């Protein structure tokens, strides 16, 4: 457990309350339980970056006086990259710490059962990073909301991108492009892969291999051998870490080549780490993710959001010494910022406080247009009774590419900052010979 306030501190604060007198008004607080993976493999796969983004958003809000006179008291909990720990921590936060709501959650494997459980208890949960569509699909959740992009959109974006550029860049019609879909077999990987498959079939692409594997598998050589046998032009990969680095390493050793490798977030969102591990071999990898906010032109966003992004980047770099700020930081920050600056104030002002029902009503009334968040997309939630109730219907991912250690937006065309490099240049370690 990573607690922002110690138990002794809380007890001390409670003891001092009777004597606080006139200062009581300033000490009203909203307790938010924030769950991320601070240890275990998910931590380095993006969870820690997202957690830092969330923490900085909360700090900035408190520095500005909190929300409608309420200080945000965040209690951070470590899910340790294990589903049962995530569930136990959620239970502890709700029943012992008595938080007003839950927030965060990196892994879809944690998010699916957590969302069900929290909703069944009629408590409120704001999911920040997990993407699996299955968190919401056909579950009719009433108290769980997610402004984040969902996995079906990840899967569709990569296929649509390939379809858009295949004729010009690969000299092939989309129907002639050989696509392989590989994924870690949890809800996240399986969800994105399902989106990949549906969209690829819709576009008439040739799926030469679709295969899942356990993220902790110690060996992927037989998968690599099969990929070599099937000779895909494009590999659509969804994984965490360390499976992504194992795949890239074994692919190089076992002679796998491709025209394009498209990752879908998680480990592929960590360009600093990929660069550190693979050097120039990490160049030209594509990544589908909600955009890292600092890559967007601030002029395309609501006035003031550019400054907030700049402050997010400044704080992240100051804390981590990183050169590149990963998309996960934006996800953690953006979702928290949306909740604290839009949903929560409305709940307090218009619905009488921050009970689960007040928060639910405020969330359902959310109407942020495109350009109204630091990641560009707008926010409006699918209402109850619809198949994706609770999911943001205005979210959208982008396709990015790593070139020379920097991240470029290459799709959609309206906001791209560079032309995609596809196929891989001759001489690249993974370029087809």
Residue ranges of the alpha helices (H) in 289-412? 305-320, 327-338, 344-351, 356-364
Residues 53 and 336 sit within 8 Å (Cβ to Cβ): yes
d(CA 292, CA 407): 9
d(CA 275, CA 281): 8
> In the bound complex, what is the minimum distance in angstroms from residue 123's beta carbon to other proteins?
29
d(CA 424, CA 207): 20
d(CA 100, CA 85): 20
> In the bound complex, what is the minimum distance in angstroms from residue 47's beta carbon to other proteins?
9
Residues 327 and 290 sit within 8 Å (Cβ to Cβ): yes
Nearer to other proteins, 230 or 406 (CB): 230
Residue 385 Cα to chain centre, angstroms: 25
Residue where the block lists tokens 């619905």: 351
What is the dihedral angle through the alpha carbons of 320, 375, 107, 180, rounded to the nearest 10 degrees? -110
Nearer to other proteins, 39 or 91 (CB): 39
> In the bound complex, what is the minimum distance in angstroms from residue 319's beta carbon to other proteins?
13
d(CA 364, CA 353): 15
Residues 116 and 127 sit within 8 Å (Cβ to Cβ): no
Q: Which two tokens stand for residue 196?
A: 């990949």
- The sheet that has 260-263: what strands, in order across it? 206-213, 178-184, 234-238, 260-263, 286-289, 398-403, 406-411
Nearer to other proteins, 118 or 193 (CB): 193
Which chain residues interact with other proteins by CB under 8 A? 38-41, 43-44, 48, 81, 185, 211-214, 216-223, 225-226, 228-229, 241-242, 245-246, 249-250, 252-255, 273, 276-277, 279
Nearer to other proteins, 239 or 356 (CB): 239
Q: Residue 11 in 3-state DSSP? A: helix
What backbone phi and psi angles, to 5 degrees, belong to 253? -65, -30
> In the bound complex, what is the minimum distance in angstroms from residue 44's beta carbon to other proteins?
5
> In the bound complex, what is the minimum distance in angstroms from residue 86's beta carbon to other proteins?
15
What backbone phi and psi angles, to 5 degrees, belong to 341? -105, -15
Nearer to other proteins, 27 or 88 (CB): 88
> In the bound complex, what is the minimum distance in angstroms from residue 38's beta carbon to other proteins?
7
> In the bound complex, what is the minimum distance in angstroms from residue 135's beta carbon to other proteins?
23
Nearer to other proteins, 189 or 356 (CB): 189
d(CA 21, CA 14): 13
> In the bound complex, what is the minimum distance in angstroms from residue 182's beta carbon to other proteins?
9
Q: Which two tokens stand for residue 70?
A: 């309420």
d(CA 88, CA 147): 25
Nearer to other proteins, 38 or 124 (CB): 38
Q: Which two tokens stand for residue 338?
A: 């949306």
Nearer to other proteins, 43 or 262 (CB): 43
Nearer to other proteins, 8 or 229 (CB): 229
Nearer to other proteins, 282 or 295 (CB): 282
Q: Which two tokens stand for residue 396?
A: 């959208």
> In the bound complex, what is the minimum distance in angstroms from residue 390's beta carbon to other proteins?
30
> In the bound complex, what is the minimum distance in angstroms from residue 340's beta carbon to other proteins?
26
């Amino acid at each position: 457990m990573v607690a922002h306030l110690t138990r002794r501190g809380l007890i001390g604060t409670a003891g001092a309350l009777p004597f606080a007198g006139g200062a009581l008004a300033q000490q009203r607080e909203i307790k938010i339980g924030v769950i991320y993976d601070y240890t275990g493999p998910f931590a380095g796969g993006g969870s820690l970056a997202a957690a830092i983004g969330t923490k900085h958003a909360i700090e900035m809000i408190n520095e500005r006086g909190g929300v409608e006179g309420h200080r945000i008291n965040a209690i951070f909990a470590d899910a340790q990259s294990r589903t049962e720990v995530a569930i136990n921590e959620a239970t502890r936060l709700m029943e012992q710490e008595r938080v007003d709501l839950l927030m965060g959650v990196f892994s879809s494997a944690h998010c699916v059962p957590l969302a069900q459980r929290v909703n069944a208890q009629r408590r409120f949960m704001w999911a920040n990073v997990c993407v699996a569509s299955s968190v919401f699909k056909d579950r009719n959740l009433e108290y769980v909301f997610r402004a984040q992009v969902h996995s079906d959109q990840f899967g569709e974006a990569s296929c649509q991108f390939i379809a858009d550029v295949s004729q010009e860049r690969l000299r092939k019609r989309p129907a002639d492009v050989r696509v392989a879909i590989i994924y870690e077999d949890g809800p996240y990987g399986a969800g994105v892969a399902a989106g990949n498959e549906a969209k690829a079939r819709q576009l008439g692409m040739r799926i030469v291999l679709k295969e899942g594997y356990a993220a902790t598998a110690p060996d992927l050589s037989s998968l690599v051998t099969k990929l070599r046998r099937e000779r895909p032009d494009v590999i659509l990969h969804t994984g965490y870490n360390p499976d992504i680095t194992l795949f890239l390493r074994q692919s190089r050793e076992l002679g796998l080549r491709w025209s394009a490798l498209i990752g879908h977030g998680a480990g592929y969102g960590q360009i600093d780490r990929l660069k550190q591990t693979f050097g120039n071999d990490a160049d030209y990898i594509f990544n589908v993710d909600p955009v890292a906010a600092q890559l967007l032109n601030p002029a395309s966003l609501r006035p003031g959001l550019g400054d907030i992004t700049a402050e997010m980047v400044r704080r992240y770099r100051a804390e981590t010494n990183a050169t590149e700020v990963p998309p996960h930081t934006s996800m953690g920050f953006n979702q928290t910022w949306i909740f604290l600056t839009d949903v929560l104030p409305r709940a307090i002002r218009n619905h009488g406080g921050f009970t689960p029902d007040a928060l639910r009503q405020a969330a359902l009334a959310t109407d942020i247009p495109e350009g109204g968040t630091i990641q560009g997309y707008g926010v409006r939630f699918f209402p109850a009774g619809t198949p994706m109730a609770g999911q943001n219907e205005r979210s959208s991912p982008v396709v990015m590419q790593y070139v020379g250690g920097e991240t470029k937006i290459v799709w959609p065309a309206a906001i791209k900052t560079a032309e995609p490099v596809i196929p891989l240049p001759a001489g690249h370690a993974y370029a087809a010979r």
